[in-house]
């Protein structure tokens, strides 16, 4: 007999190539194009909107309270514990609260809001602008899952109350549902960002040879980026800095693209963990840091 089924990093059932629909950011888990796990297990715990983009974007009625492309998600106003409050003696650069290109990720990954908390539901006329800043379960309960039971609770990636979270199944913490599902604990990053690479941190202007930082090679509107292929466009495989009013800052989107970045040509498998640059040989880090 083998060991008991542990909650480990189970191999993903998504092919992780071609489209965001074949990645872990497909929260419908339809068996569609690239395969993926059965969606019905999750039905009682989140609305299955049967579309991939809609968990993050909507063509109409988007969240205008945040500078993000056609954003469909609840962004709950939050005071994050930023990295600078850890008080390391080495940090020099000013830090502001996480900008929009971090808040987008945190709208799922800080665990405060359910993964299915959106403003405009697809094809249903169900629309609640108040969802822009707060999650209303009565509104979310109005959705009917066509693939199985309706959701009666709307869970998120909340490590603080794992039993009322996707982590109830997706973690090995004793006392909750437990076995058989991938451990998501590392993905539940919470509102305390003192243990994460700083975001909302201003990129040093004193950079280049002789300094600790490399100089981004191109600027386009509110982006500065390392234009590795020299085509004067911020491509998805290029590390970038965002200026949303506080100067060019590092945000989650600097290092990650939530849609997946092909490792080679079109259709090739995506780089791990939605990274813009594979971190082999610490290539992500060495894009910015001269070390």
- At closest approach, how far in Å is the CB of 125 from ligand HEC? 21
Residues that bind ligand HEC (rule: CB under 6 A) add up to a total of 74
In the complex with ligand HEC, the residue whose CB is nearer, 109 or 128, is 109
User: Rounded to 10 degrees, what is the CA torsion of 62, 244, 256, 254?
Assistant: 170
Site for ligand HEC in 98-117 (CB under 6 A): 101-102, 104-109, 115
- At closest approach, how far in Å is the CB of 154 from ligand HEC? 7
Q: Is 280 in the site for ligand HEC (CB under 6 A)?
A: no
Task: Let me know: does 137 contact 154? Beta carbons within 8 Å.
Answer: yes
- At closest approach, how far in Å is the CB of 134 from ligand HEC? 16
Site for ligand HEC in 232-251 (CB under 6 A): 239, 241, 250
Site for ligand HEC in 192-211 (CB under 6 A): 196-199, 201, 203
In the complex with ligand HEC, the residue whose CB is nearer, 143 or 203, is 203
Site for ligand HEC in 151-170 (CB under 6 A): 155, 157, 166, 168-170
- At closest approach, how far in Å is the CB of 2 from ligand HEC? 17
Site for ligand HEC in 119-148 (CB under 6 A): none
Site for ligand HEC in 7-26 (CB under 6 A): 10, 12-14, 20, 24-25
- At closest approach, how far in Å is the CB of 22 from ligand HEC? 10
Q: Is 275 in the site for ligand HEC (CB under 6 A)?
A: yes
Q: Is 189 in the site for ligand HEC (CB under 6 A)?
A: yes
In the complex with ligand HEC, the residue whose CB is nearer, 128 or 190, is 190
Distance in angstroms (rounded) separating the CA atoms of residues 179 and 105: 27
In the complex with ligand HEC, the residue whose CB is nearer, 33 or 144, is 33
Distance in angstroms (rounded) separating the CA atoms of residues 40 and 48: 9
- At closest approach, how far in Å is the CB of 149 from ligand HEC? 12
The residues, any chain, with a CB within 8 Å of residue 186's CB and separated by 6 or more, are none
């Amino acid at each position: 007999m083998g060991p008991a089924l542990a909650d480990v990093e189970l191999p993903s059932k998504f092919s992780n190539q071609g489209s965001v629909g074949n990645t872990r950011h497909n929260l419908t888990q339809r068996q569609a194009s690239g395969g993926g796990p059965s969606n019905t297990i999750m039905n009682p715990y989140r609305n299955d909107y049967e579309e991939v983009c809609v968990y993050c974007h909507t063509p109409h009625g988007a969240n205008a309270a945040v500078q993000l492309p056609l954003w469909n998600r609840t962004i709950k106003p939050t005071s994050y514990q930023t990295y600078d409050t850890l008080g390391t003696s080495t940090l020099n650069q000013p830090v502001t609260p996480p900008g929009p290109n971090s808040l987008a990720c945190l709208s799922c990954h800080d665990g405060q809001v359910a993964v299915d908390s959106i403003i405009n539901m697809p094809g249903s006329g169900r629309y609640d602008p108040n969802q822009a800043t707060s999650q209303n379960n009565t509104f979310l309960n109005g959705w009917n899952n066509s693939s199985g039971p309706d959701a009666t609770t709307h869970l998120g990636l909340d490590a603080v109350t794992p039993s009322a979270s996707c982590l109830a199944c997706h973690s090995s913490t004793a006392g909750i549902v437990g076995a058989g599902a991938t451990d998501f604990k590392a993905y539940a990053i919470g509102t305390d960002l003192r243990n994460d690479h700083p975001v909302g941190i201003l990129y040093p202007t004193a950079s280049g040879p002789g300094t600790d930082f490399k100089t981004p090679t191109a600027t386009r509107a509110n982006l500065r980026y390392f234009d590795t292929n020299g085509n004067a466009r911020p491509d998805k495989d290029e590390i970038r800095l965002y200026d949303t009013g506080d100067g060019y800052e590092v945000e989650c989107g600097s290092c990650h693209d939530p849609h997946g970045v092909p490792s080679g040509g079109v259709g090739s498998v995506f780089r791990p963990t939605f990274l813009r640059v594979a971190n082999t040989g610490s290539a992500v880090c060495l894009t910015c840091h001269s070390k």
